[in-house]
Amino acid sequence: MTPDLPAELKAALARKAEGLSRNDAAQRADAISRTYRDGGGSDRIRTGGDALAYALARMPGTYAAIAASLNALTEVTPEFTPRSLLDVGAGPGTATWAASEAFASLDTFTLLDANTALRDLATELAQSHPRLAAMRYHAGHARKVVAEASEADLVIASYVINELGENERAALADAMWAKTSDTLLVVEPGTPAGYARIIDLRARLIARGAHVIAPCPHEAACPLTRPDWCHFTQRLQRSRAHKHLKGAELPYEDEKFSYVVLSRTAPVQRPARVLAQPHITKIAVTAKICAADGIKTESVPHRDKAAYKRAKKRDWGDAVFPQNGLGVE
């Protein structure tokens, strides 16, 4: 799937934004993002106007990160055809939209969130989607609403666990895993702190029997050492309105994210993963790879013409299956 918001969602957001003062939306988006940076989470999102400003500013980025994580999931377990989704801390419904694009098999969508302004916006946006219009959205604190929810084949928590304290985060990880009948995806900002939260949750749930689907090629402790951290990046083009809203100059944005996909069943094979943008020179393509036996640097020399050409197409975050080298299709 592509990292771009689906056409129906873009259109629904554009309709909601008609008549909206761009300066007002930019001020709201800025205040919300400052509250996030100061550790206040989604507290600043109180009204319909706030929720819309948040969605216009952040949905393109969080959607792109979720889409990339779902692509990694479907690449490793192409046979996964979930029927039900539980979107925890769903906000405007970003992960629900992304999952419905990734899996035509989904027919039951349950969204949970404490924020009623975001719930109202999500419900309105979903009216323009044939399958999402019937979704159920429960408002309440995650610990309570997750405990009350039915099990789902796919559970997603995107950009949520950073809003919780340590004990609450651990309890929510257990509660989400208890409701996961097949696969759990957790996405966080691609910062050292976001990675640390992902790594803690990964270790905690492996100890409870979870199997890693992506991005790791193994279930051992992460071999990266500080100041390095596992994260990925997704480039997305910015519209003029999006640039204005974020006070940005560049026509694109690089969304950095960390993620983990865990499953009740071990995958048939786990690919290695490209951990940074490969370095391309006229002599070779060189990439940092996380492999089953540790972090390594792989080089494909220019003299190996066909392999070099293929290696040049590799991106940060790509899977490298065991039978293939960096330069093999």
Ligand X SMILES: C[S@@+](CC[C@H](N)C(=O)[O-])C[C@H]1O[C@@H](n2cnc3c(N)ncnc32)[C@H](O)[C@@H]1O
Give the residues lining the site for ligand X (CB under 6 A): 41-42, 62, 89-92, 94-95, 113-115, 118, 141-142, 158-160, 163-164
132 to each of 78, 99, 136, 323, how far by Cα in Å? Answer: 23, 11, 9, 39
Closest CB 171 distance from ligand X, rounded Å: 10
Q: Which is nearer to ligand X, 71 or 158 (CB)?
A: 158
Q: Which is nearer to ligand X, 144 or 296 (CB)?
A: 144
> 5 or 307: whose CB is closer to ligand X?
5
Q: Which residues contact 121 (CB under 8 A, 6 or more apart)?
A: 16, 48, 51, 52, 55, 92
Closer residue to ligand X, CB minimum distance, 159 or 259: 159
With a CB cutoff of 8 Å and minimum separation 6, the contacts of 218 are 212, 270, 292
Q: Minimum Å distance from CB 269 to ligand X?
A: 29
Q: Which helix (H) or strand (E) holds 172?
A: helix 166-178
| Under 8 Å between Cβ of 49 and 24 | yes
Q: How far is the CB of 139 from ligand X (least distance, A)?
A: 8
- 89 or 271: CB nearest ligand X: 89
Query: Shortest distance, CB of residue 198 to ligand X, whole angstroms?
Result: 15
Residue 107 CB, nearest approach to ligand X (Å): 21
Closer residue to ligand X, CB minimum distance, 231 or 270: 231
Task: Report d(CA 184, CA 164) in Å as an integer.
Answer: 18
> Apex CA 255: angle with CA 244 and CA 188, to 5°?
125
H or E element that contains 272: strand 272-274
Name which of 92, 90, 96, 116 is nearest 13 in CA terms: 92
Q: Which residue is nearest to ligand X (CB)?
A: 91
Query: Smallest gap, in angstroms, from Cβ of residue 144 to ligand X?
Result: 8
Q: Which of 63, 80 has the CB closer to ligand X?
A: 63
Instruction: Compute the distance between CA of residue 233 and CA of residue 24 in angstroms, rounded to an integer.
Output: 29
Determine the 3-state secondary structure of 300 from DSSP: strand
Smallest gap from Cβ 78 to ligand X, in A, equals: 24
